[in-house]
Structure 1
Amino acid sequence: MANEADAPHKHIFPIRVYYEDTDMGGVVYHANYLKFIERARSDYVRRLGNDQNAMRDGGIVWVVRRIEADYVAPAKFDDELIVETWLSSISGVRLTMGQLVKRGETEIFRASVTAVCMNAQGKPVRLPAEIRALM
């Protein structure tokens, strides 16, 4: 996975772990990390100026194509977490972001997420030039 230290524009997104995020043992249920990093990615592209509603109205949507994830340590009920997101790579057709979930300085979860754009017919399309310019 890409090194976040090389990222010029790292985005920070706070998350608090609620009871609904945990399993019977009070540990964050594994699938909920995907929700946490999705929220952080959405906030990241919004802050960069990408209007996902306008994209959808124009017939293009973001789709996650691949996620590589490592569960490093457990997070628990009421933990205050930070999701760091950064651009790892961009090409004409895909965007890859690195993401790290931390509690303080403790690494909890790490992911590399590749997203592509699809048109209304479900076919992949090149990333719009304005998206590449934002990134």
Structure 2
Amino acid sequence: MTHTHRIRVYYEDTDLAGIVYYANYLKFIERARSEWVRELGLDQARMKAEGQGVFAVRRVVADYLAPAHYDDMLDVTTEYLRHSGARLVLWQTVRRGGKTLFKAEVTLVCLADSGRPQPLPRPLTEKIGDFPPYKPYV
């Protein structure tokens, strides 16, 4: 499954040089992940309330390839790579037109209220179990 979320670059996203500040790419991919989960039909607030855990980023391996600028329209894609136990690994890219500006492999972990890892929620694993893993061209 490939999910795409469109984002416009606002002035607040840029630095003094007029390009997107590097940390804002992490915000962009966070928003896209939230929309990916929503598109799967899952409500993260309800999952937390029902004791099914919350997601926390454990690891990000990112490459910044080219800058985005004020007023650009960006497409942020999220693709399922793999999962096991409490871990979910996704591949995310930020593109302007057909050009890849940023790419990252993001590892999430599902945490209980105690802060300890817990298995991924069954509704999520049932949904992603149908998807073949994405094989990114790195």
Verify same fold: TM over 0.5.
yes
- 2:95 matched residue in structure 1: 102
Distance 2:90 2:41 in 1: 16
Structure 2's unaligned 5+ residue stretches are 129-138
SS state of the match for residue 58, structure 2?
strand
| Aligned alpha-carbon RMSD (Å) | 0.8
Contact 1:14 1:81 in 2 (8 A): yes
2:59 to 62, 66, 90: 66
Question: Does 2:15 align with 1:18?
Answer: no
How far 1:129 moved relative to its partner?
Answer: 1.9
* Residues 14, 82 of structure 1: 8 Å contact kept: yes
Equivalent residue, structure 2, for 1:3: none
Partner of 1:130: 123
Match 1:119 to one of 71, 96, 112: 112
Q: Aligned pair count?
A: 127
Amino acid of the structure 2 residue aligned with 1:22: T
**2:72 pairs with 1:84:** no
Identity across matched positions, percent? 52
Counterparts of 2:85 and 2:117, CA distance in 1: 11
Q: CA offsets, 1:35-88, max 9 Å, x none?
A: 000000000011101110111112311111111100000000011110011101
User: Residue 40 of structure 1: which of 13, 25, 32 is its match?
Assistant: 32
Deviation string, structure 1 residues 81-109 (Cα, Å, up to 9, x no partner) = 10011101111221101001000011100
* Deviation for aligned residue 1:23: 0.1
Q: Which of 55, 58, 71 is equivalent to 2:47?
A: 55
Secondary structure of 1:124's counterpart equals coil
| TM-score, structure 1 as length reference | 0.91
Aligned to 1:29: 21
Q: TM-score, with normalisation over the residues of structure 2?
A: 0.89
Structure 1 moving runs of 4+ over 4 Å: none
C-alpha contact 1:50 1:134 (8 A) present in aligned 2: no
